[in-house]
């Protein structure tokens, strides 16, 4: 395990982890989907279900638009994920911070129950929920973020100043090496491109896995059959497309279920090759 850098000498918190499948409760606007990974429970907590704009798609041909998003939009969402293990509750991203507390409450958790927060990247729909009225929204949490993300984003440094002493920066590993184990059952993998330090997390328990892929995609309807299409939110569209293709190959070859922050409900599912499209894929949502 590579070296981890603790910002300011702080108390070392231990926290932990977990994916599979089960129920669904649901309020249409911010549904919760429950799944399992080995002995871990994983919840997709949605703050928003909506239709995305075609204007963010880079270099989508009119033929592709006609074929995959002919309605003029596509389903999208804003999700965070909560992993519950025998040792604690881990939040992956903090979302917009609008519905998160209510969503946690709906699964029996309060902000004080969150011992660990893993950050994929520093955009507002992923870190908006970290701070409330200038104080940590999750007072007992230790926050993990890649060094590359922490160093480029003034916004995340500002938000994380509320967590001083409880922030751990790390260098995620490569996909080919299955990333870096940052705690039992959780590996951090670099997926730079969407942002300079965008990190995805591979959850493993009892022989099962789930890859929480952050913002690897925004428009599943067209980015699965055409993963080379990036979006204007990607800071490096070429690099974002390259890692997207690499990850899609990895999860297809390894039959690893995936979870995405902008994948419409249920937000979790499996990827298969789309045999009708060269280098294309299909997303099969998990069943309720």
Q: Which of 125, 149, 204, 234 binds Zn ion (CB under 5 A)?
A: 125
Q: What minimum distance in Å lies between the beta carbon of 261 and Zn ion? A: 5
Cα separation, 46 vs 139, in Å, equals 22
Q: Is 149 in the site for Zn ion (CB under 5 A)?
A: no
Choice between 123 and 142, CB closer to Zn ion: 123
Choice between 21 and 123, CB closer to Zn ion: 123
Choice between 214 and 225, CB closer to Zn ion: 214
Choice between 76 and 85, CB closer to Zn ion: 76
Q: Which residue has the tokens 């569209």?
A: 237
Asked whether the CA dihedral 58, 60, 65, 67 is positive or negative, the reply is: negative
- Count of residues in the chain: 288
* CB neighbour list of residue 215: distance below 8 Å, 6 or more residues apart: 120, 121, 123, 126, 194, 195, 198, 233, 260, 261, 262
Q: What minimum distance in Å lies between the beta carbon of 120 and Zn ion? A: 8
Is 135 strand, coil or helix? strand
Piece of 43-51, 85-93, 120-128, 181-189 that binds Zn ion (CB under 5 A): 120-128
Q: Which residue has the tokens 């549904």?
A: 31
Piece of 41-49, 98-106, 119-127, 169-177 that binds Zn ion (CB under 5 A): 119-127
Cα separation, 119 vs 148, in Å, equals 12
Site string for Zn ion, 209-248 (x = CB under 5 A): ------x---------------------------------
By CB under 5 A, name the binding residues for Zn ion. 123, 125, 215
């Amino acid at each position: 395990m590579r070296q981890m850098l603790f910002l300011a000498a702080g108390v070392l918190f231990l926290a932990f982890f977990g994916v599979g499948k089960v129920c669904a409760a649901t309020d249409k606007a911010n549904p919760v989907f429950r799944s399992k990974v080995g002995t871990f429970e994983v919840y997709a907590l949605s703050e928003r279900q909506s239709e995305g704009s075609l204007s963010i798609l880079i270099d989508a041909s009119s033929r592709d638009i006609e074929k995959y998003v002919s309605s003029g939009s596509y389903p999208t969402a804003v999700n965070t994920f909560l992993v519950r293990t025998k040792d604690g509750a881990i939040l992956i991203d903090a979302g917009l911070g609008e519905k998160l507390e209510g969503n946690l409450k709906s699964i029996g958790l309060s902000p004080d129950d969150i011992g660990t927060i893993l950050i994929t990247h520093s955009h507002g729909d992923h870190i908006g929920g970290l701070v409330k009225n200038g104080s940590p929204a999750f007072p007992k949490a230790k926050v993990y973020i890649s060094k590359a993300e922490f160093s480029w984003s003034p916004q995340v440094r500002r938000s994380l100043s509320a967590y001083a002493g409880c922030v751990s920066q790390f260098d995620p590993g490569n996909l080919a090496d299955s990333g870096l184990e940052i705690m039992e059952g959780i590996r951090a993998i670099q997926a730079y491109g969407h942002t300079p330090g965008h990190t995805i997390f591979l959850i493993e328990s009892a022989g099962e896995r789930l890859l929480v892929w952050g913002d690897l995609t925004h428009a599943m309807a067209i980015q699965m059959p055409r993963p080379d299409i990036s979006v204007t939110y990607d800071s490096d569209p070429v690099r974002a497309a390259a890692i997207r293709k690499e990850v899609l190959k990895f999860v297809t070859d390894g039959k690893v279920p995936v979870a995405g922050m902008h994948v419409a409900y249920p937000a979790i599912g499996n990827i298969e090759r789309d045999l009708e499209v060269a280098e294309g894929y299909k997303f099969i949502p998990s069943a309720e």
